[in-house]
A and B are shown apart, each in its own frame.
Chain A
């Protein structure tokens, strides 16, 4: 894996040959979601169990605007990022005041709060039935309703997201977040207002989640209630850990594994989550750094890169 970016590009081209375009799209959408989570989980050391809040909120708001106001696709993405960032600002503000288990429980509890609002507010969200009829309006002569065109669009947005996240983790902010993960007290003592930096990570992660949420709603033409539930929050944590939370590319690999497995196995074998369970146990027991670390250990025998730590 000398050049991971090149590998990502090749995968984008080859993936539609292996799976249906809708699934291929879902993989990169979930990868964007994972990139956002990993800024919190891998870089800042914050296990957020409530990323579904931002994913779902953005999907509902942008989905509503697409459906009833016919806004264009790019505006929808912008709205999604905004809603994701704003909801993350609100949730993050409350959560960064606490640490450890209390932090995790707060992200989870607030996720439940959003979930029940969506569940009860049936006139807008459709409750348990979800919000159907989210369109992918054509724009500039591009017909997004074609699955392959939409796949190309999702891939482009995913690549941009990846480059943006790469830029962020290589910026001073990336180093500061790792410093906070490594030693919160010292990070404060050298002069960083730690809660504010955690909040910033939350907001950026929220914007990525929101972006993924809107793309997801447009992909399936519906915002299912599940998109704002803790299951979604759990899945992204799960996928990221399987891929490897210690590296930028971990969540991408995790997304490929997770979506591929869940989509291909769910039709064949109803108890496919067992496989995920086994994969998770193997990761936790032997490869804390996920697939990325397993690859490093088995093939290149490189030392774990300095940006990674033993959690």
Chain B
């Protein structure tokens, strides 16, 4: 495994009296698949929002590729090479699948020459990249269909394609299998596994069996804090993690 590509140092986010993310120090190794697990409300999505600049942290730092990016707004974070998918599907419903990916690919494209007058089909590199992203998630055959017409499972795949089209260095996947049927979940897991190694991936997931089978490392969050980190095997044996999870289920 490579050196740390994405790090947080004492990252904290408070909303009034609630501390959603509490003093989190985390290091994601380049090329790894690092999962973040924890019961509902543990602060996982808030952590993602901090990493991608949706809002700034209350305190602490975020370092990406040796550069501090704390407080960088979302639209600029995308250009640095961090792309995320959302837990609740958030695509562009009226646009075709290809245009969905195309817009994401164009955003991080090398040049915006001709923004106002060139035909969008005259950007071969962007076109290729967006088609490739659709192919990666298995939606190439529906490229010209509007996003609002495809199934929920397919929208989850498109969600992922939007992140891939940006050609990122780090993929932040927020529960890619949320709301999927067992069959669709199996396909999504295969997909994530196929992406492993090509990108540095940070994965939030609830389904423990998925996490255990794909992760290189796992960090466990509970009430905003990190309570454990280790390989899947280590996490499985950790008594504190078991308590947090069992407590979470009982509550």
Q: Are A and B part of the same complex?
A: yes
Q: Tell which of B3-11, B15-23, B92-100, B194-202 binds the partner.
A: B92-100
Min CB distance, B199 to chain A, in Å? Answer: 16
Q: Most chain-A Cβ atoms within 10 A of its Cβ — which of B91, B94, B108, B120? A: B94
Q: Which residues of A contact B74 (CB under 8 A)?
A: 188-189
Q: Are A175 and B79 in contact (CB under 8 A)?
A: no
* Other-chain residue from A172, A187, A191, A194 in contact with B120 (beta carbon distance below 8 A): A172
Hey, what's the 0/1 contact readout for A170-195 against B, CB within 8 Å counting as 1?
Answer: 11111110110111011111111110
Q: Are B90 and A191 in contact (CB under 8 A)?
A: no
* Other-chain residue from A167, A204, A307 in contact with B94 (beta carbon distance below 8 A): A307
Q: Are B123 and A172 in contact (CB under 8 A)?
A: yes
A170→B115 CA distance, assembly (Å): 10
Q: Are B94 and A306 in contact (CB under 8 A)?
A: yes
Q: Which residues of B contact A181 (CB under 8 A)?
A: 94
Q: Which residues of B contact A178 (CB under 8 A)?
A: 92, 94-95
Q: How large is the interface on A (under 10, 10 to 19, 20 to 34, 35 or more residues)?
A: 20 to 34
Interface membership of A309, Cβ < 8 A: yes
A194→B91 CA distance, assembly (Å): 16
* Other-chain residue from A173, A183, A306, A307 in contact with B90 (beta carbon distance below 8 A): A183
Q: Which residues of A contact B92 (CB under 8 A)?
A: 178-179, 182-183, 186-187
Nearest-CB residue, chain B, relative to A176: B103
A80→B93 CA distance, assembly (Å): 37
* Other-chain residue from A173, A183, A188, A194 in contact with B115 (beta carbon distance below 8 A): A173
Interface membership of A90, Cβ < 8 A: no
Q: Are A189 and B78 in contact (CB under 8 A)?
A: yes
A204→B117 CA distance, assembly (Å): 13
Q: Are B94 and A182 in contact (CB under 8 A)?
A: yes
Hey, what's the 0/1 contact readout for B91-129 against A, CB within 8 Å counting as 1?
Answer: 111111001001110111000101111111001000000
Q: Are B93 and A170 in contact (CB under 8 A)?
A: no
A194→B108 CA distance, assembly (Å): 14
A173→B118 CA distance, assembly (Å): 9
Hey, what's the 0/1 contact readout for A109-138 against B, CB within 8 Å counting as 1?
Answer: 000000000000000000000000000000
Q: Are A175 and B90 in contact (CB under 8 A)?
A: no
Interface membership of A14, Cβ < 8 A: no
Min CB distance, B145 to chain A, in Å? Answer: 8
Q: Which residues of B contact A191 (CB under 8 A)?
A: 75-76, 78-79, 104, 107-108, 166
Given A172-B112, A179-B92, also A189-B84 (CB < 8 A): yes
* Other-chain residue from A168, A175, A189, A192 in contact with B95 (beta carbon distance below 8 A): A175
A193→B76 CA distance, assembly (Å): 8
* Other-chain residue from B83, B106, B115, B146 in contact with A306 (beta carbon distance below 8 A): B146
Q: Which residues of B contact A307 (CB under 8 A)?
A: 94
Q: Which residues of B contact A176 (CB under 8 A)?
A: 103, 106-107
Q: Which residues of B contact A172 (CB under 8 A)?
A: 106, 112, 114-115, 118, 120, 123
Interface membership of B173, Cβ < 8 A: no
A94→B116 CA distance, assembly (Å): 23
A194→B206 CA distance, assembly (Å): 32
Q: Which residues of A contact B78 (CB under 8 A)?
A: 189-191
Q: Which residues of B contact A67 (CB under 8 A)?
A: none
Given A172-B112, A175-B99, A178-B95, also A190-B119 (CB < 8 A): no
Interface membership of B70, Cβ < 8 A: no
* Other-chain residue from B52, B75, B119 in contact with A192 (beta carbon distance below 8 A): B75
* Other-chain residue from A190, A193, A194, A204 in contact with B103 (beta carbon distance below 8 A): A190
Q: Are A170 and B119 in contact (CB under 8 A)?
A: yes
B50-73 contacts to A, CB under 8 A, are: 52, 54
Interface membership of B162, Cβ < 8 A: yes
Q: Which residues of A contact B162 (CB under 8 A)?
A: 186, 190
Min CB distance, B149 to chain A, in Å? Answer: 9
Given A175-B103, A309-B93, A309-B94, also A188-B116 (CB < 8 A): no
Min CB distance, B168 to chain A, in Å? Answer: 10
Min CB distance, A34 to chain B, in Å? Answer: 20
Q: Are A167 and B117 in contact (CB under 8 A)?
A: yes
Nearest-CB residue, chain A, relative to B121: A170
Q: Most chain-A Cβ atoms within 10 A of its Cβ — which of B102, B116, B119, B123? A: B116
Q: Which residues of B contact A182 (CB under 8 A)?
A: 92-95
A189→B30 CA distance, assembly (Å): 22
What are 15 residue pairs bridging A and B, where the CB atoms are less than 8 Å apart in the complex?
A167-B117, A171-B115, A175-B99, A176-B106, A178-B92, A181-B94, A182-B92, A190-B107, A190-B108, A194-B75, A204-B116, A306-B95, A307-B94, A309-B93, A309-B94
Query: Measuring CB to CB, which residues of chain A are less than 8 angstroms from any residue of chain B?
Result: 167-168, 170-176, 178-179, 181-183, 185-194, 204, 306-309
Known interface pairs A171-B120, A186-B86; 9 further A-B residue pairs with C-beta atoms within 8 A, sorted by A's residue number: A171-B119, A172-B112, A175-B99, A175-B103, A178-B92, A182-B93, A183-B93, A190-B166, A309-B93
Query: Measuring CB to CB, which residues of chain B are less than 8 angstroms from any residue of chain A?
Result: 52, 54, 74-76, 78-79, 83-84, 86, 90-96, 99, 102-104, 106-108, 112, 114-120, 123, 146, 162, 166
The 7 tightest CB contacts between A and B, nearest first, are: A191-B78, A191-B107, A309-B94, A182-B92, A190-B104, A190-B107, A179-B103
